[in-house]
Amino acid sequence: MLIHIIFFLVSAFRWLQVNYIEVVAVVTGLLYVFYTIKENRVLWIFGVISSALYIIVFITSEIYAYALLYIYYVIIGCYGWYTWSVKNNDPESKGSSIVIKRASSGKIIMFLILTFVMAAPVYFLLIFFTSSDMAMMDALLTAGSMVATWMLTRKYIEQWIFWIVIDVLSCILMIFKELYPSAILFFVYTLFAIKGYLEWKKNLEAATPN
């Protein structure tokens, strides 16, 4: 029994030596979602750290569009920090210039169209210039995530619905690529996205006059 425990610990240590970047990216990614639910602007700091680390992970795994996406995450994370940091006199803003709101049906349609429009060139770039074997899913997830992250900077509650779909598909992609810690992360992201939607919905309803 003791030999098995020692063997497990040694194997785990060796695995961490190889995958420590992905592990740290997972931990900071979980903190990012946790603080998103809490509407705490520190989420953007953890988001930038996690995204920077995932750029390395995805390039190594030949998920090129996702690597491009996480470069965007680093940039939009800085913008998100700024938009959530600007002070105003609105008591419902919790110290931020942005409050939770619903997107109109027209905006939701626009966001969906924008996702497919942005996915098209990414798909063709992956087909012709990379060795990607999941080009269509990679492109759609990349474009959808970019749109959803921008929605987060403006606090549209529907961004959580986008993330639920994106995280489920991302979990499948990570399993296919044998990135199991990341698959677990995206599964947890899915649960957090559901919780986030319910929490934001409750906060929105509480802030809306009867």
Q: Residue 7: is its pLDDT beyond 90?
A: no
| Cα dihedral 203, 204, 207, 209 sign | negative
Start-to-end Cα distance in the chain: 64
Let me know: does 192 contact 37? Beta carbons within 8 Å.
yes
How many domains, the chain? Answer: 1
Q: Give the pTM.
A: 0.75
Q: Which amino acid is at 101?
A: K
Whether 2 shows a pLDDT value over 80: the answer reads no
Res 207: pLDDT: 73
Burial code (b: 16+ CB inside 10 Å, e: under 16) for 94-126 equals eebebbbeebeeeebeebeeebeebbeebbebb
pLDDT grade, residue 209 (50/70/90)? low
Domain of residue 118, residue span:
2-207
Q: How confident is the model at residue 83 (pLDDT cuts 50, 70, 90)?
A: confident
Tokens of 151: 């929605």
Arithmetic mean of pLDDT, 30-36? 87
